Amino acid sequence: MNILVIGKGGREHALVWKLAQSPRVTKLYCAPGNAGTSQEAENIPIEPQQTQELIEFCQKKKIDLVVIGPEDPLVAGLADEMRARNIRVFGPSKRAACLEGSKVFSKELMHRANVPTSEYGVFEHPDHARKYIDSRDYPVVVKADGLAAGKGVFVCSSLVDAYQAVDRIMTKEEFGPVAGRKVVIERRLDGQELSCIALVSKRNLLLLPPAQDHKKVFDNDQGPNTGGMGVYCPAPIATAHLQAQIVDKILVPVMHTMKITECPFQGVLYAGLMLTNTGPKVLEFNVRFGDPETQPQLFSLQSDLLDALEAVVDDTLDEFPEEKWQFDPRSAVSVVLCSEGYPGKPKIGLPIEGLEEVNRLPDVKVFHSGTIQSDNQILTNGGRVLSVTAKGDTLSAARERVYEAIKYIRFPGMHYRTDIGLKAAGQNPSS
């Protein structure tokens, strides 16, 4: 089979790396990819928003399956455009992708499906939003309705903060006129966060190992939010009982409600959850694999990813055998190495050293995010540069291995968190 993966992050490198292991893959492409994807696939210089060029490429190269990585092209309707031309695609329709593309759609769907989430209000006018804020207890969370590259969510501990968030989203339109047309305001939930991610077709699902991401840039959850600084899986906190509860009370009701509202979901359903005292509650849904969650998840996947992706596309997950969805039970940890300046403006074009040595280590894999090949050198090309990923018999052992591996890698201004998985390893040293 000829396969095209769309995107250029660590998630897409992990997808390409895993798909390259399938005996059924003849030729693998990545558009546009990064220096890491070019080691396993042929990079194609087409950006995810270049719909027509992507379609022409698929037709010319007789692509048998397209895997869309990032949310923007899904929300823009790339999967529909391709399906309309008989190109097989793994990824939800534009309508179903509203689950991530519109916080209002997502909240209304959860309400309809009786899925546990924080109580909320939706506002189209800043005056109405401010009036609601006046009546609330703090902290509250103010969210721009549309996609905002992970930046349109404000946790506000005072009325002044909440007014400012409304102003930035709706009046100043910092995230664009569409994303800021409406806001969702909700009560902040307390607890631990969990990423529960599943491959979903109309009637069935396959869970990936539950993961815990670290969003703040500095150790001890200090500093501004990022796209994700590191992650581990399986998260010891997510017992089999908790996972069953999440499937029954959250994932299945969402799938069912989407189906009966003529908006069936096919692709990756990613529930960002808060594990509260009263049970798991949804913070947000995403409609694609996580980044960096995908890196340790696929590093642990022992089965052929292509079989599972095809079962989703063909809606045959009902008969998908359990033995074709097996994971290494050991712990996996991924730590993101970032450029100076990230999560603000990152420095790019800096040479990265030590990659060859680190890739020779057992149970270690470096997935590339913001990298580019230039002559014989690999250079930084974004804020999140590399996800160093390692497995170990325990979470502590995986942590030890990943941080040992990082010592081999150098680029000017490199920074990363040193406490990925530390709390969970400490709470449960035998895990």
Contact 201, 272 (CB under 8 A): no
Minimum CB distance to ligand GLY smaller for 203 or for 215: 215
Asked if 146 is part of the footprint of ligand GLY (rule: CB under 6 A), the reply reads: no
With contacts defined by CB under 6 A, name the span among 54-62, 81-89, 288-296, 382-390 that binds ligand GLY.
288-296
Asked whether position 100 contacts ligand GLY by CB under 6 A, the answer is no
- Choose the stretch contacting ligand GLY; rule: CB under 6 A; options: 30-38, 165-173, 284-292, 303-311: 284-292
If binding is defined by CB under 6 A, does position 64 make contact with ligand GLY? no
Contact status, residue 255 vs residue 262, Cβ threshold 8 Å? no
Q: How far is the CB of 315 from ligand GLY (least distance, A)?
A: 25
Is residue 12 within the footprint of ligand GLY (CB under 6 A)? no
- The smaller minimum CB distance to ligand GLY, of residues 209 and 290, is found at 290
* Strands across the sheet containing 42-43: 42-43, 27-32, 2-7, 65-68, 89-90
Binding status of residue 304 toward ligand GLY by CB under 6 A:
no
Cβ of residue 234: shortest distance to ligand GLY, in angstroms?
Answer: 16
- CB of residue 217 to ligand GLY, shortest distance in Å: 14
The least distance separating ligand GLY from the CB of residue 197, rounded to whole angstroms, comes to: 9
What is the total count of residues that contact ligand GLY (CB under 6 A)?
6
Nearer to ligand GLY, 64 or 291 (CB): 291
Distance CA 94, CA 86 (A): 16
The whole-angstrom separation of Cα 146 and Cα 180 is 7
Q: Which of 64, 291, 304, 363 binds ligand GLY (CB under 6 A)?
A: 291
The reply on whether position 293 binds ligand GLY by CB under 6 A is yes
**Binding region for ligand GLY (CB under 6 A) out of 156-164, 232-240, 261-269, 287-295:** 287-295
| Residue 290 contacts ligand GLY per CB under 6 A | yes
| Alpha carbon distance 387, 294 (integer Å) | 10
Does residue 230 interact with ligand GLY by CB under 6 A? Answer: no
Minimal distance in Å, beta carbon 300 to ligand GLY? 16
What is the Cα–Cα distance from 388 to 393, expressed in whole angstroms?
Answer: 17
Taking CB under 6 A as the binding criterion, the range among 87-95, 253-261, 286-294, 401-409 that sits at the site for ligand GLY is 286-294
Of 54-62, 89-97, 247-255, 289-297, the window that binds ligand GLY (rule: CB under 6 A) is 289-297
Q: Least CB distance from residue 296 to ligand GLY, whole Å?
A: 11
Site residues (CB under 6 A) for ligand GLY, limited to 197-216: 213
Residue (186 or 291) nearer to ligand GLY, CB = 291
If the CB atoms of residues 25 and 194 are measured against ligand GLY, the closer one turns out to be 194
Give the chain as a 3 state SS string. Answer: CEEEEEECCHHHHHHHHHHCCCCCCCEEEEEECCCCHHHCCEECCCCCCCHHHHHHHHHHCCCCEEEECCHHHHHHCHHHHHHCCCCCEECCCCCCCHHHHCHHHHHHHHHHHCCCECCEEEECCHHHHHHHHHCCCCCEEEEECCCCCCCCEEEECCHHHHHHHHHHHHHCCCCCCCCCCCEEEEECCCCEEEEEEEEECCCCEEECCCEEECCEEEHHHEEEECCCCEEEECCCCCCHHHHHHHHHHHHHHHHHHHHHCCCCCCEEEEEEEEEECCEEEEEEEECCCCCCCHHHHHHHECCCHHHHHHHHHCCCHHHCCHHHCCECCCEEEEEEEECCCCCCCCCCCCECECHHHHHCCCCEEEEECCEEEECCEEEECCCEEEEEEEEECCHHHHHHHHHHHHCCCECCCCECCCCCCHHHHHHCCCC
Strands 192-200 and 205-207, bridge-based pairing: antiparallel
Question: Shortest distance, CB of residue 159 to ligand GLY, whole angstroms?
Answer: 29
Binding mask of the shown chain, residues 313 to 342, with x at each position contacting ligand GLY by CB under 6 A: ------------------------------
Check binding of 286 to ligand GLY (CB under 6 A): yes
Nearer to ligand GLY, 293 or 363 (CB): 293
The correct pick among 7, 146, 228, 280 for binding ligand GLY (CB under 6 A) is: 228
List residues binding ligand GLY (CB under 6 A): 213, 228, 286, 290-291, 293
